[in-house]
Amino acid sequence: MEIIKSNKQNDKICLDGHMYTLYYETSETIKWRCSKKSSVRCPAVLSTDKQITEYEKIHRHNHLPNRKEVMVTKALMNMKEKSSTTTTNLVEIFANGVSKLDKSAKAQMPSEDTVKRTLRNHRSKGNPIDPKSLEDCIIPHTWTINSDGHRFLLNDNGIVDENGKCKADERIVIFATDEGLLILLSLQLG
Ligand SMILES: [Zn+2]
């Protein structure tokens, strides 16, 4: 029995080529239902203790196990994790994830474009919305500093009035680290 961690609602349990998702909890057990519950109406349920160490199978699956599908799901979860916790480009994340799969598992992988689209959506979840106009382009404070808490936004001429609307016709935004500026200053020009 193996648990693929995501957020709790989306945690998956892999067991003997089948996957289970959270169904409901009782005071002593957690019930997990087959991930094919809605697609093929599989009645299989897995009952585990709260620590997810012991399990009991309830009802049989009405379909064959698919270990390759489990491998693909694990690879996809891994890619999602990487895309939201690193800035590695998606082509590389995809290539890395796929390289660990054998040939027949690769064949069950969704297309590269589909996966990259999913990863892109996943990655942009924590990002501000893409501005449609200058007025939408409001830079939240967390995006004006770097991970050390030092300033990153040096200048933004977007004047925001009391209604949160930007008055500038042309927007000039300058991002740089102080460290980067010092390197720039030290350069011999000419
Ligand atoms: Zn099933």
pLDDT tens for each residue of 91-122: 999 999 999 999 999 998 999 999 999 898 88
Query: Phi/psi at 175 (nearest 5 deg)?
Result: -110, 135
CA neighbours closer than 13 Å in the CB half-sphere of residue 51: 2
pLDDT, tens only, 58-103:
999 999 999 999 999 999 989 988 888 888 899 999 999 999 999 9
Exposed, middle or buried, 97 (CB in 10 Å: 0-12/13-18/19+)?
buried
If phi > 0 it is left, if psi is from -120 to 50 it is alpha, else beta; for residue 90 that is: alpha
* Pair of tokens at residue 62: 């009405």
Say how many Å lie between the CA of residue 10 and the centre of ligand 1: 17
Say how many Å lie between the CA of residue 12 and the centre of ligand 1: 13
CA nearest to 177, candidates 147, 157, 137: 147
Please, are residues 136 and 156 in contact by the beta-carbon 8 Å criterion?
A: no
Say how many Å lie between the CA of residue 131 and the centre of ligand 1: 44
Say how many Å lie between the CA of residue 39 and the centre of ligand 1: 10
